Structure 1
Amino acid sequence: MSAATRPALVLEHEADAPAGLLADWAAERGIDLEVFAWHADGDGDGAPDVAGRPFVVVLGSEASAFDDTVPWLARERALLDRALALDVPILGICFGGQHLARALGGTVSPASRPEVGWLEVESLDPETVPPGRYLQWHRDAFTPPPGAELLARSPVSAQAFRHGRHLGVQFHPEVTPAIALGWATNYPDSVRRAGTTVADVRAGGEEHAADARRRAYALFDMFRSRISG
């Protein structure tokens, strides 16, 4: 396969945290994706090269982006560093946004409190981050790296930044209501610690699914337009 036709690379960390709406969007836009599963490959041996990719997406994880004991974290950092050196655009989502922020010189640390559920995001750049409710599921938070533009925030943490052609978000635009409900069911302690319930997550998904999909597609379209311009 020539570099010009290589698919975009998606880094998946857990089987229950797939590309979701991002995969739907890519299929509708005729964009090929290659998903590499760190969780199925141990410490990351055999990770595909980023050279020639139109972009790289780093999905969420239960791991902490500042925990250097995570077996695959150093290898993913090397992959991100190579993408940055080659100016391959990166979209980081939740954990992915944190890891991108750290790679660019920002910091990651425990948030003042976890955010879980379909929560309002205050957009400072509505053309890039459409305002509204997104699925939140995080206990850690990033500081935007030096030179980055803060695009969105919540009462708890920064929610989105842009650094050149790279975009990091703390929320989960890719998550469908079914994925969110699966997390709520499988990780009840995370739900409880955030002061919400499985029923709230289910109801939020039912109420906000259509708008969340529309906002996700708009965000992905804006990311694509900026990296192709």
Structure 2
Amino acid sequence: MADVASKVLFLVNEHIATEALLGDAFAEQGFDVDTFEVVPAERVGAPAGEVTFPDPGGYDVIVPLGASWPVYDESLRDSWVGTEMQLLRDAADAGIAVLGVCFGGQLLAQAFGGSVARSPRPEIGWYDVLSDRPEVVPGGPWFQWHFDRWTPPPGATEIARTPNASQAFVLGRTLALQFHPEVDGDLLKMWLAADRDGDVIAAGLDHDELLTRTTELAQDTGPRIRSLVRGFLTHVAGHSRPS
């Protein structure tokens, strides 16, 4: 009898925050990759609203991705953010592994009893991340674009940080990341084109500078993302799903 491929579901919370390099890394590990768009492009200006999510039960891993809104926005918490938080709790209860990225990591913090609030110092660009467990989260430069930061939930273990913010925590078979491992040049160009509020300029950076740095690091980024995904699957998710 042939082995059934493992399946990963990426929750694309905002249409421009796609799985990018993370999708490739999971595919290389033998996963079938599914995506679900939570807030489509036509609703970006008014993102609150009810969403019917897929059943997480058919998946081995759920990956909630990034978005530009605060996870604590009341109109969102009262609609799809609240629903997605319950989905993540249900997935964890069912033994499904979860990997949260930026907004997705903050969702995990909020869903499991931590808190999320405005950070005194936003992070945009490439920052060195100090890791206590490099076999799970390799230390070094990772791309950031966030204005909020979390307090890890009760029972979680913080495993990486910058001077400004917690960057990763583990809780059971869940790993939350504050940074964006998925970013490549193409994804960053989309984000820069959508930067209507001038976040990059306000942070004292320019678009060409960010793109150049991303290109310079591209040769190392792929292997480090593959290492992160292998580390997550081995040390957090475990090799097999609990029965």
TM-score where L is the length of structure 2: 0.87
Residue of structure 1 in register with 2:195 after alignment = 187
- 2:208 aligned with 1:219, yes or no? no
8 Å CA contact 2:168, 2:176 repeated in 1: yes
> Which residue in 1 is equivalent to 2:174?
166
Q: Tell me how far 1:51 sits from its aligned partner.
A: 1.3
Shift of 1:87: 2.2
C-alpha deviation, 1:69, in angstroms: 0.8
Distance verdict in 2 for CA 1:44–1:225, change over 3 Å:
farther
Aligned-partner SS, 2:226: helix
TM-score calculated relative to the size of structure 1: 0.92
Matched, 1:38 2:38: yes
SS where residue 11 of structure 2 aligns? strand
How many corresponding residue pairs?
226
Post-superposition offset of 1:46: 3.0
Match of 1:11 in 2: 11
**Offset of residue 44 of structure 1:** 4.8
Aligned position for 1:69:
75
Identity of aligned residues (%): 37
Would the aligned equivalents of 1:6 and 1:52 in 2 still touch at CA under 8 Å?
A: no
Between the aligned partners of 2:153 and 2:82, the Cα distance in structure 1 is: 19
1:20-59 to 2 correspondences below 5 Å: 20-40=20-40, 43-59=49-65
1:228 — aligned with what?
A: 238
Distance 2:154 2:52 in 1: 32
What's the RMSD between the two structures over aligned residues? 1.8
2:125 corresponds, among 117, 121, 125, to: 117
Q: Distance in 1 between matches of 2:130 and 2:26?
A: 26
The alpha carbon displacement at 1:190 in A equals 1.2
Q: Which runs of 4+ in 1 moved over 6 A?
A: none
- Distance in 2 separating the partners of 1:102 and 1:119: 24
**Once the two structures are superposed, what CA deviation does each residue of 1:8-37 show, in whole Å capped at 9, x if it has no partner?**
211001221110011111222220121110
Q: Distance in 2 between matches of 1:228 and 1:84?
A: 13
Q: Structure 2 CA distance, aligned partners of 1:181 and 1:123?
A: 28
Structure 1 gaps, min length 5: none
Moved more, 107-116 or 46-55: 46-55
